[in-house]
Chains A and B, each alone.
Chain A
Amino acid sequence: MSEEQPKPPSSPPASAPKTQPPVSVARRHFLFTWLGFAWTGFAAATLAALSTCLRFMFPNVLFEPNPIFNAGKPDDYDIGKVDLRWKEKYAVWLVREPEGMYALSTVCTHLGCTPSWMESEQKFKCPCHGSGFYASGINFEGPAPRPLERYAIRLGEDGNIIVDKSRKFQQEKGEWNQPDSFLYL
């Protein structure tokens, strides 16, 4: 292979090359040449793309509702029912039993989807992987490894229910015996 090197292209005519004077482009005319358009466009596009970095100058704050909220009077809730009214805003189910109430987190303990309460079957059923929970929050089917979490719940001075989402109680740690995990009425 190495012996047969490609022949160099035929050399240009031997006559001395004439040096042409460089074409001078006045600065104010540069913008109106095609090359000028191209560079201007390129610079503008790059700047526009980089301008999105300005977004990083501002803090990334998620405005979430206050984790402590007033859930109204205990009489607003039907005994034996799972109440869905705070699900959308606070991600909480309030369950009213004859003895009292508790607040369940709507986050599935498997991978964090939101299960749906199925009234006719009396269970929470997760649409993602089929985990099922009783109204008490105890997991009984599917892959969820532990029960739903409960939030702190107590009665305020004015008789309203106060749910505190910043404190949670996990059954597998034996925390459902703690006073604020269940509101006796």
Chain B
Amino acid sequence: MGEAIKAAIDAFASPVSIFVGSILVFAVFMTFPKQCTTRWVSAVFAVLFLAFFAFGLTDEHFRGIVTKPDNVPIVAMLFIFGYFTWFAMKKAVDNDERIAKGEPPWEKTEADEKVMVFPYLIYIEFVVALFCSIGLVLWSIFLKAPLEEPANPTISPNPSKAPWYFLGLQEMLVYFDPWIAGVLLPTFIILGLCALPYIDRDTKTSGFYSYAARKMPIMFFMFGFWILWILLIIVGTFLRGPNWNFFGPFEVWDVHKVVPLVNINLSEIIFIKWLSQGLPSNWFLREAPGILIVLFYFAVPPVLMAKTVCKKIYEKVGPERYGVFIILMLMMLALPIKMFLRWGFNLKYIVAIPEFFFNI
């Protein structure tokens, strides 16, 4: 029975199914936040999640991965982030309902009563700091630091994994040129986070949880955070094994697992598969279709969206801030698009110019 369930989960697990499944759950949660945060639905979700985890712990291999000292914080992160997302959404939905009824938000009723920072807040902070210190000391005693022998450049451990907070980046590197996934996209992530408060300067809902007033921005942000960062960390930590192959949660990490991953560039698809001729020797001619697609991607959707889906945002923030917002969003969406292209069509690079190391 247990083995059959494990085999079924492993057979179902693949980058595509995990990604599509997570996006579906995400979409349901963001579309029906009220229903999803009611007591019964959240209880069912929590029980299912804990049951899966408890069931997984009976498996030696699964237990080995989740209790590895490197991975313990990521397991904790799953529970913590899940709880806080649920909590914030529940409060936001409550507040939206109160505001719709003409009542002040929940935080307003609470904030009328004021106490002094000292001693009330400082004491709480002090006690929390004490417990955190004790926790860290215990952690360092019971979980071994993942230190290994001095590095040898000719031997890369298999699998070689980045620190857990960089595993999302490492997963991105599978789909993009190192220059894009390692430099350009992280820069955009940081700049984008810095730019957030300047893109949406509306203070109407400052100071309390609210969802209805900012549906689109919150959805975009949560998609980037949960799907494109946390999910990638989870995949990179628990589901990537030797040779960076994908493994199901209960699958034994076999170094000799063979996964056909032969990738081809867009130029090869167009000129060899479709036009049945050799690649043009001139790199510009060869990559012209890819370059056109990339230019199209960054030029046309912003204009179209300003007139349709994002009309409200465009009118609210004006062309300059809309331009920044839409470029950030397109950069973000480029990641899942490229992932699906890789899974669906084995596409390696849309533009591939190894002559001077420029690949998109």
Contact = CB atoms under 8 A, between A and B. Distances in A.
Interface string A104-125: 0010001101111010110001
B200 to A, nearest CB: 35
A121 B182 contact: no
Q: Counting chain A CB atoms within 10 Å of each CB, which of B170, B174, B177 scores highest?
A: B174
Contacts of B206: none
A153 interface: no
Contacts of A146: 354, 357
A80 interface: no
Contacts of B258: 121
Nearest to A171: B354
B349 interface: yes
B177 A114 contact: no
A87 B355 CA distance: 27
A132 B261 contact: yes
Interface in A81-132: 87-88, 91, 106, 110-111, 113-116, 118, 120-121, 125-130, 132
Contacts of B245: 130
Contacts of A121: 256, 258
Interface string B171-197: 001111110001000000000000000
Given A130-B245, A172-B354, A110 B156 contact: no
A142 interface: yes
B160 interface: yes
A132 to B, nearest CB: 7
Given A127-B158, A127-B243, A145 B354 contact: yes
Interface string B126-163: 00000000000000000000000000111111111000
Contacts of B230: none
A129 B174 contact: yes
A130 B161 CA distance: 12
Contacts of A41: none
Nearest to A125: B243
Given A127-B157, A127-B160, A128-B160, A145 B261 contact: no
Given A143-B173, A145-B177, A172-B354, A130 B261 contact: yes
The majority secondary structure among interface residues of chain B is: loop
Taking each of B158, B177, B359, which has the highest tally of chain A beta carbons within 10 Å of its own beta carbon?
Answer: B158
Between B153, B244, B245, B352, the greatest number of chain A beta carbons within 10 A of the residue's beta carbon is seen for B244
B42 interface: no
A116 B157 CA distance: 10
A130 B243 contact: yes
Nearest to A88: B154
- Most chain A Cβ neighbours within 10 Å, of B159, B178, B349: B178
Contacts of A140: 262-263
B153 A114 contact: yes
A121 B173 CA distance: 24
B242 interface: yes
Interface size range on A against B? 20 to 34
A92 to B, nearest CB: 10
A121 B256 CA distance: 8
Contacts of B155: 88, 114
Q: Which among A87, A110, A172 has the highest number of chain B CB atoms within 10 Å?
A: A172
Contact-size category for B: 20 to 34
Nearest to A87: B154
Interface string A137-157: 000111101100000000000
Contacts of B242: 127
A110 B176 CA distance: 10
Contacts of B260: 141
Contacts of A130: 174, 243-245, 261
A173 interface: yes
B174 A142 contact: yes
B154 A91 contact: yes
Contact of B156 (A128, A145, A172): A128
Contacts of B263: 140-142
A143 to B, nearest CB: 6
B243 A143 contact: no
B124 to A, nearest CB: 27
A108 to B, nearest CB: 8
A111 B159 contact: no
A145 B357 contact: yes
Contacts of B243: 116, 125-127, 130
A111 B178 contact: yes
Given A120-B256, A127-B242, A129-B170, A143 B176 contact: yes
9 nearest CB pairs, A to B: A130-B244, A127-B158, A141-B261, A172-B354, A113-B156, A146-B354, A114-B156, A128-B160, A125-B243
Interface of B: 152-160, 170, 173-178, 182, 242-245, 256, 258, 260-263, 348-349, 352, 354-355, 357, 359
Given A111-B178, A114-B155, 18 more contacts: A87-B154, A91-B154, A106-B154, A110-B178, A121-B256, A125-B243, A126-B244, A128-B160, A129-B174, A130-B243, A141-B261, A143-B173, A143-B174, A143-B348, A145-B349, A145-B357, A145-B359, A146-B357
